[in-house]
Amino acid sequence: MKNLLQSAFEKRAPLFDVTDAYRVVNGVADGFPGLTIDKFGNRYQMQFFGPELLTNKSEIVEAVVAQFNPVCIVVKERLSSSGRSLENAPMEVVVGTREDAVGVVSEGKAKFHVDLMDTVNPGLFLDMRHVRLEVENRFREMSGAFPAHPGLRFLNLFSYTCSFSVHARLGGAAVATNADISGKILDKGRENYALNGLDLRPGEFFRGNAIEYVRWAKKKGLRFDGIVLDPPSFARFKGFNFNVREHLMPLVAECAELLNLNGFFMVSSNYSEFNLSAFSRNVLAAVASVHPQARTAWQKSQDIDFVGSGSTKDSCLVATMVEV
């Protein structure tokens, strides 16, 4: 067990100078079927997505303690006794205390609050790290290329804790607008702004349906130099049920109307039934319906710490970047 853990850890070596938050174990691809282990600074999150290693939980915890000497380990069981996936998973602190589950992690020049016991998601989605860093770099490059620009603007839809926007602001965006239905989540975004020394600017936080914001922004004639659209597979708001299969591509086309020339648009989804190539083609077609000159900059899945990405339903991502 210790040798497997050491081998998995060494695969992540290219990330050591980039961040202290990454996936150490990604299931069967690392020799741990049904298990993921995420590192958030000196805190670790173990998630069991299947029954294969549940009986070895104590042994795995001991191996993590011996290897990393963590201040905290939180275990989450994401599968019910009947085999059904659980969104409200049982959570247990097996090393440290509830207070130890809270901390700060670094990602490039950015810092983010995390709380491994808050919900299933501790406040930062690790599989989007490489895209967040690119968003920051793109705004840095645009700031240098267009110094006379009145103010670069970024739109972050389904923004969660606003990590994309922190990177955009650090890269030089004048305004980074976050749209999310949860006021609690947006408050965490404000805390992340403060943690990074970013002032709060008018128009940066919108509590509500992302689709509502897009339509309001169109009426107001707002335009953005970068847009990120990273929706959940399903969401409910004021009687409206968002389904990524049905509603995503029409929303992509609507968002494209808000995009400035020379801007970029990143669209992603963790919905396991999407095929990366088809997804990328469909996004490009939706954007090209508004900007005929649109081109695909890249299509990709999860970063190197998600070894074997796409081989299981709990480790899947399709993402594409379109430039206009």
Question: What pLDDT was estimated at residue 146?
Answer: 66
Task: Say if 2-115 and 126-323 have the same CATH topology.
Answer: no
Structure confidence at residue 279 as a pLDDT band (50, 70, 90): very high
pLDDT digits (tens, 9 = 90+) for 209-218: 999 999 999 9
317 beta partners: none
Is pLDDT above 90 for 190?
Answer: yes
Structure confidence at residue 18 as a pLDDT band (50, 70, 90): very high
Average pLDDT for the chain? 93
**Residue from 79, 90, 34 nearest 60 by CA:** 34
The pTM of the full predicted model, rounded to 2 decimals, is 0.94
pLDDT digits (tens, 9 = 90+) for 136-154: 999 999 988 766 567 999 9
Q: How many CB atoms lie within 10 A of CB 245?
A: 12
Kindly report the CATH class assigned to 2-115: alpha beta
The domains of the chain are located at 2-115, 126-323
Is pLDDT above 70 for 122?
Answer: yes
User: Does domain 126-323 correspond to CATH entry 3.30.70.20?
Assistant: no
Q: How far is residue 9 from each of residues 12, 40, 71, 178, measured CA to CA in Å?
A: 6, 14, 18, 34
CA distance 3 to 147: 52
DSSP letter for each residue of 223-289: -EEEEEE---SEEEETTEEEEHHHHHHHHHHHHHTTEEEEEEEEEEE--TT--HHHHHHHHHHHHHT
